[in-house]
């Protein structure tokens, strides 16, 4: 592949790596016992969706450091998508989300596979639901382990991989920390600073900064270039998640593939909610309290919260936060020495990460 950036061709290559890798792992599970078929099935489809942004950032972290296209590096980059797949399974389980990409989430699909409706009522249903959730937890754990295996067995020299070992551990630590922070602050008093910390550690770092840095470390990038990657990657990752939060409440579920009420039902500590709360008066906060955390919400509740958020200008402030971060990220590219092709690719990725409807 030349220095020309072809997102569709790149995605096809990454999809091929992931499909073959996960199919082989599913077959190995089935060889142990055919009863593992539902789990193997979830592995096969775990990374079947996505724009492959995380893989792309890892790839261009490598290419921007002056390295050529490499099938081995592509496999390392594809491992970023397995990190994401693991995080998605765990996140959906924690939030008890029913849909992802318009399809049943792992724990819901496993519950169906185990035959909830066919097994009767009462204790049988509870037992199957509990088993499905436990299996989904293990699927998420296994996907994270598989990400590490795909990364270390990608085919790059051991000396290259050794340069990235510490950051790989840091990626896992900070991803877990971000998820834990979200759990600890769910249901609490909305606060923008707290929400932005959750955004940074739960999503932003492993979406952009860490993949870029891993690609750079594998390539032997200089400290100055890696600093440039962080200056670009961290604000862009935050902008990515802020866009996701906006789409979660204001996006079209047919395009986002997610239930629009999930953030309200779970009372997640999103920056959108925090900005709404910060501007609300006593009566408006009471309107929010009557909705947040309820499991019986419907479309009328959603429209009421949307109207309140618009009234208080919260979506517009989140849009400005996104714009500020994208501008900071793209300005950071002016200070790094990379090829024109790499610069164009990184600018395009910034747009793709934040200017989206799903």
Output the six-digit token pair for 172: 């896992």
Higher pLDDT, 259 or 235: 235
pLDDT in tens, 45-82: 999 988 999 999 999 999 999 999 999 999 999 999 99
pLDDT in tens, 149-187: 999 999 999 999 999 999 999 999 999 999 999 999 999
pLDDT, residue 117, reads: 47
Give the contacts of 178 (CB within 8 A, at least 6 positions apart).
198, 200, 201, 202, 203, 205
pLDDT band at 255 (very low <50, low <70, confident <90, very high): confident
Inform me whether the pLDDT recorded for 118 exceeds 70: no
Distances (CA, A) of 262 to 253, 267, 329: 11, 8, 30
**What is the DSSP-derived secondary structure letter of residue 100?**
E
Average pLDDT over residues 234-255: 93
Q: Where are the beta strands (DSSP E) in the chain?
A: 99-100, 103-104
The owner of tokens 């055919």 is 34
Polymer length in residues for the chain: 358
Rounded CA-CA distance 17/74 in Å is 8
Record the pTM: 0.94
Output the six-digit token pair for 114: 């185990």
Rounded CA-CA distance 237/235 in Å is 5
| Number of alpha carbons in the 13 Å side-chain half-sphere of residue 50 | 22
- 355 by Cβ neighbours in 10 Å (0-12 / 13-18 / 19+) ranks as exposed
95 DSSP β-pair partners: none
Question: Is the CA virtual torsion 340, 341, 342, 345 positive or negative?
Answer: positive
pLDDT in tens, 321-339: 999 999 999 999 999 999 9
- Residue 293 gets the label, from left (phi > 0), alpha (psi -120 to 50) or beta, of left
Rounded CA-CA distance 29/10 in Å is 29
The owner of tokens 């008890």 is 96
Domains, in order of start, for the chain: 7-354 (1.10.600.10)
Output the six-digit token pair for 109: 């699909």
Furthest-apart CA atoms within the chain: distance in Å: 64
**What is the DSSP-derived secondary structure letter of residue 67?**
P
- 55 by Cβ neighbours in 10 Å (0-12 / 13-18 / 19+) ranks as buried
C-alpha distance across the termini of the chain, in Å: 28
Is 148:168 a contact under the CB 8 Å cutoff?
A: yes
Average pLDDT over residues 207-227: 98
């Amino acid at each position: 592949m030349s220095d020309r950036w072809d997102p569709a061709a790149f995605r096809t290559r990454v999809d091929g790596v992931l499909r073959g890798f996960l199919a082989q792992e599913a077959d190995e599970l089935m060889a142990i016992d055919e009863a593992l078929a539902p789990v193997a099935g979830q592995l096969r489809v775990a990374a079947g969706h996505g724009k492959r942004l995380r893989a792309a950032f890892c790839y261009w972290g490598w290419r921007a450091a002056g390295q050529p296209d490499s099938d081995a590096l592509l496999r390392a980059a594809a491992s970023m998508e397995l990190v994401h797949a693991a995080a998605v399974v765990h996140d959906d389980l924690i939030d008890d989300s029913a849909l992802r990409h318009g399809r049943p989430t792992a724990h819901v699909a496993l519950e169906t596979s185990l035959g909830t409706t066919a097994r009767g009522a009462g204790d049988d249903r509870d037992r199957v639901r509990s088993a499905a959730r436990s299996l989904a937890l293990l699927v998420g754990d296994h996907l994270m382990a598989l990400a590490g295996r795909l990364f270390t067995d990608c085919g790059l020299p051991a000396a290259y991989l050794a340069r990235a070992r510490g950051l790989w551990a840091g990626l896992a630590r900070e991803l877990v920390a971000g998820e834990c922070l979200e759990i600890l602050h769910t249901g609490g008093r909305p606060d923008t600073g707290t929400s932005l910390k959750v955004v940074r550690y739960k999503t932003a770092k492993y979406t952009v900064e860490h993949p870029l840095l891993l690609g750079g470390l594998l390539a032997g990038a200089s400290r100055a270039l890696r600093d440039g990657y962080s200056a670009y990657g961290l604000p862009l990752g935050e902008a990515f998640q802020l866009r996701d939060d906006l789409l979660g409440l204001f996006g079209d579920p047919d395009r986002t593939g997610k239930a629009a009420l999930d953030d309200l039902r779970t009372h997640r500590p999103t920056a959108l909610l925090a900005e709404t709360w910060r501007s609300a008066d006593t009566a408006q906060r009471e309107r929010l309290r009557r909705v947040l955390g309820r499991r019986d919400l419907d479309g009328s509740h959603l429209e009421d919260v949307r109207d309140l958020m618009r009234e208080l200008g919260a979506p517009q402030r989140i849009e400005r936060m996104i714009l500020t971060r994208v501008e900071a990220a793209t300005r950071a590219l002016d200070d790094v020495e990379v090829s024109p092709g790499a610069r164009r690719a990184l600018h395009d990725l910034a747009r793709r990460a934040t200017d989206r409807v799903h």
